[in-house]
Amino acid sequence: MFACFMAVVYVSWPLYRQMDKAGFFPEPRIEITGFQPNEQVIITRPHSFSGISREAWADKSGKAVFHDLSPGNWVITKGGTEKLQKTTIYIPDRYGIFIKQIEQFEIRIIFQRGG
């Protein structure tokens, strides 16, 4: 006799937030250094249906950090108008830390499991 069991796990919102902070649900993050302090930086994904874009401001050290990204190609725009040449970023769909150096900019793609 063969029996099939299906388990449903209910996770409360506070438990989910704790698990998220611990890194159980990783998401890609991009850190780009080399900008002027407080400079506007926009990354866009032009080849998607809705034309996704994310905006950040560089901190005092010149680093802009982007969260809530999906794998694929992203293009960097500095100051909201100046598209940086040869700065298409590919976010892989696998875990790891990937670094790309373009002129004075260092692009660090971080996609790690927590623990």
CATH number of the domain residue 36 falls in: 2.60.40
Asked if residue 4 belongs to a domain, the reply is no
* Cα–chain center distance at 83: 19
Domain tally, the chain: 1
What are the distances in angstroms from CA 85 to CA 63, 76, 88, 91, 98? 18, 9, 8, 18, 19
Asked if residue 86 belongs to a domain, the reply is yes
pTM of the predicted model as reported, rounded to 2 decimal places: 0.64
Q: Residue 82's domain spans which residues?
A: 27-111
Asked if residue 78 belongs to a domain, the reply is yes
For residue range 21-79, what is the model confidence (pLDDT) as tens digits?
776 666 678 888 888 899 998 888 777 666 788 899 999 998 998 887 777 777 888 77
CA angle 77, 100, 104 (to 5 degrees): 60
Is 60 exceeded by the pLDDT of residue 4?
no
Measured CA to CA, the distance from residue 57 to residue 66 in angstroms comes to 10
Asked if residue 11 belongs to a domain, the reply is no
For residue range 11-27, what is the model confidence (pLDDT) as tens digits?
677 877 787 777 666 66
Asked if residue 5 belongs to a domain, the reply is no
Q: What is residue 80's predicted lDDT score, i.e. its pLDDT?
A: 63
